[in-house]
Amino acid sequence: MISRVFFILEIDDKKFEDMYVDVKQPFGTDFEKCPVEVSPPVGSYHGPINHEQFSEAVEKYYRSIIGSQGSGIRISSSAKNIRMRGNIADKTEVIEIELSDQSKAW
């Protein structure tokens, strides 16, 4: 399963409004137990970002929408061969992560 998460990145007083990441569930893995893959951010920001904190925040956000506990689409671990296309979930959430010149980047 591949999904896309769009977001606005704010650093100090500057906004990067055209940002997104792809979130992938590797084929054959258990959605509830295995981590998802979060791509590097795409958009106008090209500076450092803490990969670990950022990926954890994206995964937590994603699972809050999709999964057995999701508010948008509930998928149980016993579900097989699910095909969904063109679904859009809209949920606003503010997440803060550390950002410095020493941040781990992609």
Q: Rounded to 5 degrees, what angle do the CA atoms 6, 97, 52 make?
A: 85
| pLDDT tens digits, one per residue of 62-78 | 888 876 655 445 555 55
Which residues face 19 on adjacent strands?
Answer: 7
The answer to whether residue 37 is domain-embedded is: yes
The reply to whether 34 falls in a domain is yes
Task: Tally the domains of the chain.
Answer: 1
Structure confidence at residue 42 (pLDDT)? 96
Position 72 in a domain: yes
What is the pTM for the complete model shown?
A: 0.75
**Which residues of the chain fall below pLDDT 50?**
71-72
Q: Is 88 part of any domain?
A: yes
Domain span at residue 84 reads 1-41+50-98
- For residue 105, being part of any structural domain is answered with no
- The pLDDT score that the predictor gives to residue 79 is 57
Question: In angstroms, rounded to a whole number, what is the distance separating the alpha carbons of residues 40 and 30?
Answer: 23
Determine the pLDDT at residue 58.
93
Asked if residue 2 belongs to a domain, the reply is yes
